[in-house]
Amino acid sequence: MSQDDMLGDAVERLEWDERKQDETPVKKWRQLTRRTALTGAAAGIAAAALEACGSSKSSSSVTGVSSSTAATSSGSSAASSIFGVSQSYKFTLVNHVTTNPFFTPTQNGAADACKLLGCSYQWTGSENSVVGEMVTAFNTAVSAGVDGIGVCLISPTAFNQPVEKALAAGIPVLAYNADATGNARLAYIGQDLFVSGQEMGQHIASLVPSGDVALFIATPGTANIQPRIDGAQATLKSHSSITPHVVATGAALTQELTTIEAYITGHPSYKGFFAVDGGSTQSVGQVIQKHNLNGKVKGGGYDLTPITQQTLASGALQFTIDQQPYLQGFLPILELYLYKASQSLTGPADVNTGLKFLDKTTVIPYNSTKSRFEGTGTAPGVQKS
Amino acid sequence: MAVADSTPPAEAPPQGPAKGWARRGGALSWGQRFLTLREGSIIVITVVTFVYFAASVPHFLTGSGLKALLPYFAPFAILAAGEVFVMINAEIDLSVGAVYLFAPFVFYKLNVNAGLPLVPAMIGALIAAMLVGLFNGLVVSVVGISSFVTTLGTLFTLSGLTLIISHATQVTTPGTSVVKVGTFAQIFGGGTYSELFWAIGIAIVLQLVLSFTRWGIYTVAVGGNRLGASEAGVRTKVVLTRNFVLCALLAGFVGIMEAVRAATTTPDPSGANVILFQAISAAVIGGTLLQGGSGTVIGAFIGAIFLGVLQDGLNLKGVSANYFYFYLGLAILIAMAFNTYVSRVRTGSGRG
């Protein structure tokens, strides 16, 4: 008994020392596996997990692939003994665009976290940002008595009551990808959309000192992209020499490409073309590339698709903003699990997944690999492409 | 009558309706002949829209401006051509968007996972699309479920299947690259004029099929009066089924060409359903009746051009994002109201 107390103290102390570090999966892994190793529970499995942890730490991008499979398969059996959880938790992730490829890495992240922890999750919500459908899906999850819910709060108020009801029923709720002020959710994991738009505005202002620029948005009014363009416009307002023009491009990728090609060829005097959604961003890159405008006009936008990455590397685009969608699936499951496992003692923590600006150089590892982390592959780990 | 005569092509001096009818087939004026064409009114509206944008938007009527206009209508003209055949049968195919989404993934799978060369992989994908059409056609004609319900079911099933086989992951279309357009891509969608040539070729061939072959005549007969046609010995089930197969084949072909043009195959069904609406709109604007029995491929082609000109023009005019759909919708309503009015005047003058 006394030895257990001592070890517990040691673990506490180590975690206290690490408290200032960023909340990364690696840190969580380290803490989790340390607890296992030091307290001696399931020592053999913990060793395997530790090994996996060590190699994944050293593998910033390419190496350390083989051991991650071992980690996931051993993890599911390890987690229950580490956390003293006997049942298999069921979580629900409510999404506003369930079939959008942007969220493929998010689903990968959630699936990986579930494999790691030996729990399961359901991916549900609306296909076209219909708030009513999302609320219904949310309430269904509550009445089904799931163990936790992650939800994209794309409406400022619609989720307030459902979330409060869920919390009152003892179901933890986290927001991911989109947040609403005044909602009772326990934590938010995702990008601050408006702030990211403001940062984009700064980037635009530094790339294009003066002149006309176009800002492309696929579907105006959509809650997860409109705040970005609002943020960009808010920043550009203070740069009176830049005149932004907002252009709607359409929901289908081919439609976005058509619109952007017509707009760019129709406005040869414009100095820069920027987009706030993934499809428009890759189309800007593609059109600049096709018409040999590399360097003559500036381009940039959001998210990572194969084409965005290629045109970033070729110099057609100057930047793209990665908001790490994988983490937006992995971390909610992890936090919900810890909340349940600790019986509400710990778990929820706000995580800003990002304002990760990528340029010609930093995009290289994305281009040379395939992975579940970026939604470009289905096998575990990172492969060379 | 007054309206008909005041439209630009109506050069003839005003004449009484009865007189016009009496002289039909004889010395009808050019303007009246033109307006007696089913597509006459939508051609007028398209030309007026085109002239308006050409005059008011600086870069609309330039070489690069016109090239940019092509993808606005060429793919929809092909999709609408297939939809016309189904709609003349008084049926509708709501699954064209889903086939458009599905076929390029079959193409990708056959090329990348099964290792087939590009062209056989594409043929395989087109056969898969035709099987979907065959299924739709058989369920509608043999089982007797309404085409709206059947193809709605196929729409969801196929969208789901696409998401499953693609793991909801966007991929680079085989045979394409952003940096260099290869021969395969040049021919099938990647070249600047490739989709235009396909659209014109397909429209001409299918219009000839519709006007001059047994297939086309049976199609109109089945749409106009199904019972009558079947009693006259037309095998209505075969006619219905092959039109669904044709429609799905064209949807799959356009899906692959568009995936080649964008160099990306994306599994997002919400975008594909926008494509569906555009295809049906082009057919309807081009004069195909929703209740069947009447329609032309050329009309649908011009309907697609009208929608394309409208979108391109509004886009180049710099209509702010928040107003775009508002103006687009209003313009379609006004154009359709005018279209209906003109054709009423046309038939009115005919009947005297």
- Give the pLDDT score at A17: 63
Q: How far is CA B53 from the centre of its chain?
A: 23
Quick one: A250 exposed, middle or buried, by C-beta within 10 A (0-12, 13-18, 19+)?
buried
pLDDT at A89 over 90: yes
Question: Could you report the per-residue pLDDT of A329-363, keeping only the tens digit for each?
Answer: 999 999 999 999 999 999 999 998 878 899 999 98
Cα(B285)–Cα(B277) distance, rounded to whole angstroms? 12
The verdict on a CB contact (< 8 Å) between A262 and B322 is: no
The verdict on a CB contact (< 8 Å) between B75 and A220 is: no
DSSP A109-149: HHHHHHHHHT-EEEEEE-SS--HHHHHHHHHHHHHTT-SEE
**ipTM (interface pTM):** 0.72
Cα(A234)–Cα(B228) distance, rounded to whole angstroms? 66
Q: How far is B207 from chain A (nearest CA, A)?
A: 27
Q: How far is B223 from chain A (nearest CA, A)?
A: 32
- Residue A294 per-residue DSSP state: B
Q: How many other C-beta atoms lie within 10 A of the C-beta of residue B27?
A: 6
Quick one: A374 exposed, middle or buried, by C-beta within 10 A (0-12, 13-18, 19+)?
buried
Q: How many other C-beta atoms lie within 10 A of the C-beta of residue B18?
A: 11
Residue with tokens 């592959």: A377
The length of chain A in residues reads 385
Q: What is the mean pLDDT of residues B117-132?
A: 96
Question: Could you report the per-residue pLDDT of B217-269, keeping only the tens digit for each?
Answer: 999 999 988 999 999 999 999 999 999 999 999 999 999 999 999 888 888 88
Strands A298-302 and B171-172: unpaired
Q: Which residues of A73-101 are buried (b: 16+ CB within 10 A; e: fewer)?
A: ebbeebbbebbebeeebbbbbbbbbbbbb
More confident: A35 or B108: B108
* Structural contact between residues A137 and A112, judged by C-beta atoms closer than 8 angstroms: no
Strands A319-322 and A298-302: parallel
Paired residues of B9 in beta bridges? none
Q: Which residues of A314-335 are buried (b: 16+ CB within 10 A; e: fewer)?
A: eebbbbbbbbbbbbbbbbbbbb
Percent of chain A with pLDDT over 70: 80
Q: Which of A55, A17, A60, A14 is nearest to A37 (CA)?
A: A14
- Residue B182 per-residue DSSP state: -
The verdict on a CB contact (< 8 Å) between A255 and B60 is: no
The verdict on a CB contact (< 8 Å) between B59 and A246 is: no
Cα(A19)–Cα(A7) distance, rounded to whole angstroms? 18
Kindly identify which residue of chain A lies nearest to residue B313, measuring between CA atoms: A262
- Helix or strand or coil: residue A351? strand
- Give the pLDDT score at A118: 92
* Structural contact between residues A45 and A89, judged by C-beta atoms closer than 8 angstroms: no
pLDDT at A275 over 50: yes
Percent of chain A with pLDDT over 90: 54
Q: What is the mean pLDDT of residues B301-321?
A: 88
* Structural contact between residues B80 and B282, judged by C-beta atoms closer than 8 angstroms: yes
Cα(A239)–Cα(A234) distance, rounded to whole angstroms? 10
Spatial neighbors of A317 by CB under 8 A, at least 6 apart, are A281, A284, A285, A288, A299, A300, A301, A308, A311
AA letter at A243: T
Rg (C-alpha) for chain A, rounded Å, is 22
Paired residues of A175 in beta bridges? A151, A188
The verdict on a CB contact (< 8 Å) between A261 and B68 is: yes
- Helix or strand or coil: residue A95? strand
CA angle, corner A218, sides to A215 and A219, nearest 5? 115
Chain B CB contacts of A290 under 8 Å are 178
Q: Which of A97, A101, A366, A372 is nearest to A253 (CA)?
A: A101
Q: Mean pLDDT for chain B?
A: 85
Chain B CB contacts of A270 under 8 Å are none
Spatial neighbors of B286 by CB under 8 A, at least 6 apart, are B39, B42, B80, B84, B295, B296, B298, B299, B300, B301, B302, B303, B304
Q: Which two tokens stand for residue B174?
A: 């085989």
Residue with tokens 């692939």: A65
- Give the pLDDT score at A328: 95
Q: How far is B243 from chain A (nearest CA, A)?
A: 26
Q: How far is CA B169 from the centre of its chain?
A: 28
Cα(B268)–Cα(B187) distance, rounded to whole angstroms? 25
From B68, B163, B274, residue closest to A255, measured CB to CB: B274
- Give the pLDDT score at B10: 41
Q: How many other C-beta atoms lie within 10 A of the C-beta of residue B3?
A: 13
The verdict on a CB contact (< 8 Å) between A266 and B271 is: no
Percent of chain B with pLDDT over 70: 86
Question: Could you report the per-residue pLDDT of A99-144, keeping only the tens digit for each?
Answer: 877 888 999 999 999 999 999 999 999 887 788 899 999 999 999 9
The verdict on a CB contact (< 8 Å) between A97 and B270 is: yes
Cα(A211)–Cα(A131) distance, rounded to whole angstroms? 39
Hey, of A216, A217, A258, which one would you mutate to test binding to chain B, going by the most B CBs within 10 A of its CB? A258
Q: How far is A44 from chain B (nearest CA, A)?
A: 34
Q: What is the mean pLDDT of residues A58-71?
A: 34
Q: What is the mean pLDDT of residues B210-217?
A: 94
pLDDT at A255 over 50: yes
pLDDT at B75 over 90: yes
The verdict on a CB contact (< 8 Å) between A257 and B262 is: yes
Q: How far is A210 from chain B (nearest CA, A)?
A: 19
pLDDT at B73 over 50: yes
**Confidence band of A73 (pLDDT split at 50, 70, 90):** very low
More confident: A37 or A88: A88
Cα(B78)–Cα(B251) distance, rounded to whole angstroms? 8
Percent of chain B with pLDDT over 90: 54
pLDDT at B5 over 50: no
The verdict on a CB contact (< 8 Å) between B271 and A253 is: yes
Cα(A96)–Cα(A135) distance, rounded to whole angstroms? 10
Chain A CB contacts of B258 under 8 Å are 254
Cα(A348)–Cα(A335) distance, rounded to whole angstroms? 6
Spatial neighbors of A255 by CB under 8 A, at least 6 apart, are A249, B271, B274, B275
- Give the pLDDT score at A141: 93
Q: How far is A98 from chain B (nearest CA, A)?
A: 9
Paired residues of A273 in beta bridges? A214, A299
Q: Which two tokens stand for residue B259?
A: 């995936």
Q: Under the phi-then-psi rule, with left for phi > 0, alpha for psi from -120 to 50, and beta for the rest, what region is B264?
A: beta
- Give the pLDDT score at A24: 63
Q: Which two tokens stand for residue A319?
A: 């930047």
From B65, B171, B263, residue closest to A286, measured CB to CB: B263
pLDDT at B348 over 70: no
Residue with tokens 């990572």: A304
Q: What is the mean pLDDT of residues B328-342?
A: 80
The verdict on a CB contact (< 8 Å) between B270 and A221 is: no
- Give the pLDDT score at B172: 87
More confident: B294 or A257: A257
Question: Could you report the per-residue pLDDT of A287-307, keeping only the tens digit for each?
Answer: 999 999 998 999 999 988 888
Q: CA–CA distance from B165 to each of B104, B108, B109, B145, B321 (Å)?
A: 12, 11, 9, 28, 34
